Structure 1
Amino acid sequence: MTRLYNDPVDFADEMIDGFVAANQNQVRRVNGGVVRSTHTPENTVAVVVGGGSGHYPAFGGIVGQGLAHGAAMGNLFASPSAHQVETVAKAADRGGGVLLSYGNYAGDVLHFTQAQDALNAAGIPTRTVAVTDDISSASPAEKNKRRGIAGDLTVFKSAAAAAEEGYSLDEVVRVATLANERTRSFGVAFTGCTLPGAPEPLFSVPEGRMAVGMGIHGEPGIGETDVPTADDLARQFVEALLAELPEGIEQAEGQRVGLILNGLGSVKYEELFVVYRSVSQLLDAAGVTIVDPEVGELVTSFDMAGVSLTLFWLDDELERFWRAPADTPAYRKGSVRATEQLDATELDVDVEEIIPESSIESQKAARTAYLALEALLEVVNENVEELGRIDAVAGDGDHGIGMQRGARAASAAALEALSAGAGAETLLHRAADAWADRAGGTSGALWGVALKALGSELGDTDKPTAAAVGAGVQAATNGILTFGAELGDKTMVDALVPFSDVLSREIDGGATLADAWNTAALVASDSAAATASLLPRVGRARPHAEKSLGTPDAGAHSLGLIVTAIAAVLRDATAKETHND
């Protein structure tokens, strides 16, 4: 379990602050993560990596000369927000364009894709390569659905070494794509991990048993067996990875591979070396030459007891990049050329935004929006443990704390905007950015999009009407639907779409906003409860489909709670308006 922490909500931020303080010769803190503290030549492609915190040395630990130029670091097991990724990328950019690379998880894909679009729109050429090395997470025919685990390192290092050699953005992308295609990983777990403040692990493995193919957040693999001997585990690893050779490699014999034997947190180095002894013998017997093996902790998961093996099938170019020197807080190889330290003033920083002018009517609406966010936070706080429990049935159990982080940040940002005289649009936009930044993950992206869309419809100058609110909710729904979920997938969408449809129908029929919202909230709650009978078809819960039957979707359930709480705020606001009239 994780024993040393203050407020669990602040753990990731405090961890990053301490990490930077301990490694000032290699990294500097920027909003959303870290960048190199050393000079990078002009017109060099910047390789920016990232993902959730809790996996050190991924991702900040591999920022430095010869490896990543920056890392966007989200909350624990939650992707960084698009704004955080964009900020880190701008700070790392040296004029040669940016490659964003990350493990293939839904929240990361959403946020990094949004950041890519924003960076391209800002005139910074940006591309992405998602890492898909975990062979247990999908079949070869669906490689695009595979997770990224310890094989992240081979892709990040290859891309960064290519950038160091002066490759163009297109060429760096080519190298990263090839490295990903030639990387295969397979992992096992013996126990789960416990997040700071959590009373129990995110998942468990029966005593004396081993989960085969389990992911780094407890995602399911392909089965469960008794815990083997070290030699038997090595044999399972090698047989599984040699059974799936990358395209273009006809046989293993005669090939050269980079290798990572990765510990996930609680398996000790001595144990890893015992396993590696057998791995090396088996690969040698298969005619495979190991090049610069890495045995240790490269991607962890707090106190999770697990091990993974990664094989990186090399050609001459990839071998040169795999062997290239690097100097980062957690990964060193060879000798890099000494480089001057950056001055703090050389890093891009966020410019404080001015509150736009707004009408008195919009400021009144902004106050109602703030009260709605306060009610939202209160209901999330009251149900945070239940939301986590529901999510843990088929997910990683972090929905409650993620919603709590997001709601708390959104409420604080809204209060600050309200105090500064913001209108409804500005207040909701500030709340949206704060929610996405603080919560990260898929829910952070969804709620960020929803609040921003609603704010854009309300504006800062006009008195918001019921029709404008209805249009805003519809815009929020449309924005969320662009992420790919559909009705019946067992997601937030299964409650949101009925809510939006009923709200618009009631408003069009002449109902007041408060009455229309209340009617729609009842429908949303019923729809959320009905997700208990569905099987998930997308997202992290998909592989756990059968386990989730009988339990509602956590995102749909939280939406039902939230819109119900907001209905009371709207009723109070309507009563006050009537009294004042």
Structure 2
Amino acid sequence: MTRLFNEPAAFADELVAGFVAANRGRVRAVHGGVARATRSEPGTVALVVGGGSGHYPAFGGLVGAGLAHGAAMGNLFASPSTQQVLSVARAAEHGGGVLLSYGNYAGDVLNFDAAEAQLIAEGIPTRTVRVTDDISSASVAEKHRRRGIAGDLVVFKVAGAAAEAGYELDEVVRVATLANERTRSFGVAFTGCTLPGAAEPLFTVPEGRMALGLGIHGEPGIGETDIPTADGLAEIFVEALLGELPDGVDAPAGQRVVVVLNGLGSVKYEELYVVYGGIARRLEEAGVEIVEPEVGEFCTSFDMAGASLTLVWLDEELETLWAAPADAPGYRKGSVPPREAVEADPEPQTSSEAVMAPASEGSRRAAARVTAALDATAAVIDAHVDELGRIDAVAGDGDHGIGMQRGATAAAVAARDAHDAGAGAGTVLVRAADAWSDRAGGTSGALWGVMLRALGTRIGDEVAPDAATLALGAREALDGIRAYGKAEVGDKTMVDAIVPFVEVLETRVAAGDELADAWDAASAAATEAAAATAELLPRMGRARPHAERSLGTPDAGAHSFGLVVTAAAAALSRKDTVR
């Protein structure tokens, strides 16, 4: 278990602060993560990587000369927010465009894609390469759906070396894509991992058994077997990966291959070396020539006891880029000449310092209700944070509770600050939206940001919003969720609860009901629909590969939506809100 922490919700922020303090010569803190502390050649491509915290040295530990230029570091096991990715990319970019690269997880895709679109709109050429090396997470026919695990290191190393060598953006994308296509990984686990403050691990493996095909966020594996000997595990690894050769590799014999044996947190280096001996023998027997192998921890999962094997099928260019020097806190190869330090970035303007839009007296009174509703939201999430994490861990990664807690708390604080500064209801909601998505990260953070921003934009600051305006804002929030997340009713997501909420709210408001009555009816419909997701199989997100495991358990996002709209009902129904 994870034993050393202060406040669990602050763990990710505190680990970044400590990491920067220990590596000031290589990295500097920027909002949302870290960037290189040394200058890069002007006009070269900037490689920006990222993902959830809890996987060191991925992702911040891979920032340095010859590797990444910046890393967006999200909450524990949750993707960084769009704002975090933007901040890191802007700090890392130096004239040659940006390549975004990350493991293929739903929250990362949502937030990195949104950041890519914004960077392009700002005139910064930006491209994306998603890492999809885990063969257990989808079939060959759907390999674009596969998640990224320790293959992240390979793709980042090749892309970083190409950028260092002066490749233009399209060429860096080309070799990074080739590295991803030529990389395959397979992992196993003997125990689950435990997030800071949690009483139980995200999943367990029966005593004496080994889970096959696990994910680095604690997603359950695809099967189990008795724990083998070290040689037995080497055989499982090699057979799995030789069983799926990349396009262009007809047979293993005669091929040059990079081997990465990765420990996931609690398997010791000595054990890894014993396993590696068996791997090397089997690959050599298959006629494979091993090139510059790596044995150690490159993409971990807190205290998970497990390991993964990665094979990279080389061509001459990939081999040259893999062998190039690199100097990052968590990965070094060869010798990199000293670099000039960059100046510290100025502190960004905070929301409270930004210019406040004028608001009517009616809108400011409504802002008090909105603020009270967001306070109620933060309180109900605090009360259910462990339950939300437990539900999410059944077939996912268990981060939903802590992500919702961070987001809801940040939204409540931002709303209160905006209200105290005289903001209207629309501005309060927009400020809360930005704070929620920025602090929570992950899929839920992005989606709650979309919803609150859509609602705030519709309400505005000119007049006190009526029930019809709120209903229209709710419809536009739903439209935003569908456009952003691509989910529909039946996919076992929060959309299953949002749709009935919006439909009932619209119907009751159109029938002339008071807002309080309409909202109560809509909240009840959302809560009922959220409970009914227990009987659905997920068709999207991290839970999709483990669909059967989630039967009998509601979707965490749908359940939390029901909690939030129910908690908000009391505040929204009051004629006046006194704080």
Q: Same fold (TM over 0.5)?
A: yes
- SS of residue paired to 2:156: helix
Q: 1:492 to 1:453 in 2, by over 3 A?
A: same
Distance in 2 (alpha carbons) for counterparts of 1:68 and 1:271? 30
Q: State how 1:333-348 maps to structure 2 within 5 Å.
A: 333-345=333-345
Instruction: Give the corresponding residue for 2:512.
Output: 510
The one-character-per-residue Cα deviations of 1:469-522 (angstroms, maximum 9, x if unpaired) are 111111111111121111011111111001011111222222222221111111
Question: How far has the Cα of 1:110 moved from its partner?
Answer: 0.7
Q: State how 1:229-248 maps to structure 2 within 5 Å.
A: 229-248=229-248
Q: Does 1:558 align with 2:560?
A: yes
Distance in 1 (alpha carbons) for counterparts of 2:129 and 2:2? 32
Distance in 2 (alpha carbons) for counterparts of 1:430 and 1:397? 27
Q: Does 1:115 align with 2:115?
A: yes
Question: How far has the Cα of 1:107 moved from its partner?
Answer: 0.7
Q: Does 1:11 align with 2:11?
A: yes
For 2:336, the aligned partner's letter is: V
For 1:161, the aligned partner's letter is: A
CA contact (8 A) 1:262 1:307 kept: yes
For 2:108, the aligned partner's letter is: D
Distance in 2 (alpha carbons) for counterparts of 1:384 and 1:263? 30
CA contact (8 A) 1:220 1:543 kept: no
Q: State how 1:73-152 maps to structure 2 within 5 Å.
A: 73-152=73-152
Q: State how 1:255-334 maps to structure 2 within 5 Å.
A: 255-334=255-334
- SS of residue paired to 2:153: helix
- SS of residue paired to 1:180: helix
Q: State how 1:378-389 maps to structure 2 within 5 Å.
A: 378-389=379-390
- SS of residue paired to 1:380: helix
Q: 1:348 to 1:334 in 2, by over 3 A?
A: farther
Instruction: Give the corresponding residue for 2:421.
Output: 420
Provide the aligned C-alpha RMSD in A: 1.4
Q: 1:58 to 1:174 in 2, by over 3 A?
A: same
The one-character-per-residue Cα deviations of 1:428-454 (angstroms, maximum 9, x if unpaired) are 111111111211111111111111111
CA contact (8 A) 2:220 2:395 kept: no
Instruction: Give the corresponding residue for 1:179.
Output: 179
Higher deviation after alignment, 483-492 or 394-403:
394-403
Instruction: Give the corresponding residue for 1:354.
Output: 355
Q: Does 1:519 align with 2:521?
A: yes
Q: 1:247 to 1:534 in 2, by over 3 A?
A: same
Q: How many residues align?
A: 575
Distance in 2 (alpha carbons) for counterparts of 1:295 and 1:16? 25
Runs ≥4 residues deviating over 3 A: 347-352
Instruction: Give the corresponding residue for 1:60.
Output: 60
Q: Does 1:471 align with 2:472?
A: yes
For 1:432, the aligned partner's letter is: A
For 2:276, the aligned partner's letter is: Y
CA contact (8 A) 2:57 2:298 kept: yes
CA contact (8 A) 1:91 1:349 kept: no
Distance in 1 (alpha carbons) for counterparts of 2:344 and 2:400? 36
Distance in 2 (alpha carbons) for counterparts of 1:499 and 1:80? 28
The one-character-per-residue Cα deviations of 1:143-193 (angstroms, maximum 9, x if unpaired) are 011010000011111111111111111111111111100000000000011
Q: What's the TM-score, normalizing by structure 1?
A: 0.97
Instruction: Give the corresponding residue for 1:543.
Output: 545
Instruction: Give the corresponding residue for 1:407.
Output: 408
Distance in 1 (alpha carbons) for counterparts of 2:491 and 2:549? 15
Question: How far has the Cα of 1:37 moved from its partner?
Answer: 0.2
Question: How far has the Cα of 1:86 moved from its partner?
Answer: 0.4
Instruction: Give the corresponding residue for 1:365.
Output: 366
For 1:61, the aligned partner's letter is: G
Question: How far has the Cα of 1:426 moved from its partner?
Answer: 1.8
CA contact (8 A) 1:91 1:348 kept: no
Distance in 2 (alpha carbons) for counterparts of 1:120 and 1:468? 33
For 1:491, the aligned partner's letter is: T
Distance in 2 (alpha carbons) for counterparts of 1:25 and 1:47? 19
Question: How far has the Cα of 1:348 moved from its partner?
Answer: 8.4
Distance in 2 (alpha carbons) for counterparts of 1:274 and 1:506? 67
Distance in 2 (alpha carbons) for counterparts of 1:231 and 1:381? 47
For 1:232, the aligned partner's letter is: G
Distance in 1 (alpha carbons) for counterparts of 2:359 and 2:95? 38
Distance in 2 (alpha carbons) for counterparts of 1:36 and 1:161? 15
For 2:121, the aligned partner's letter is: A
Q: State how 1:200-215 maps to structure 2 within 5 Å.
A: 200-215=200-215
Unpaired segments of 5 or more residues in structure 1? none
For 2:325, the aligned partner's letter is: P
Question: How far has the Cα of 1:397 moved from its partner?
Answer: 2.1
Unpaired segments of 5 or more residues in structure 2? none
CA contact (8 A) 1:30 1:349 kept: no
Question: How far has the Cα of 1:250 moved from its partner?
Answer: 0.9
Distance in 1 (alpha carbons) for counterparts of 2:48 and 2:155? 12
Instruction: Give the corresponding residue for 2:531.
Output: 529
CA contact (8 A) 2:459 2:469 kept: yes
Q: Does 1:26 align with 2:30?
A: no
- Percent identity, please: 67
Question: How far has the Cα of 1:249 moved from its partner?
Answer: 1.0
The one-character-per-residue Cα deviations of 1:332-359 (angstroms, maximum 9, x if unpaired) are 00011211011114x7845753222222
- SS of residue paired to 1:292: coil
Distance in 2 (alpha carbons) for counterparts of 1:135 and 1:114? 27
- SS of residue paired to 1:29: strand
- SS of residue paired to 1:394: coil
Question: How far has the Cα of 1:362 moved from its partner?
Answer: 1.8
- SS of residue paired to 2:190: strand
Instruction: Give the corresponding residue for 1:451.
Output: 452
Instruction: Give the corresponding residue for 2:497.
Output: 495
CA contact (8 A) 1:134 1:185 kept: yes
Distance in 1 (alpha carbons) for counterparts of 2:507 and 2:82? 33
For 1:43, the aligned partner's letter is: G
Q: 1:348 to 1:141 in 2, by over 3 A?
A: farther
- SS of residue paired to 2:291: strand
Question: How far has the Cα of 1:526 moved from its partner?
Answer: 1.2
Q: What's the TM-score, normalizing by structure 2?
A: 0.97
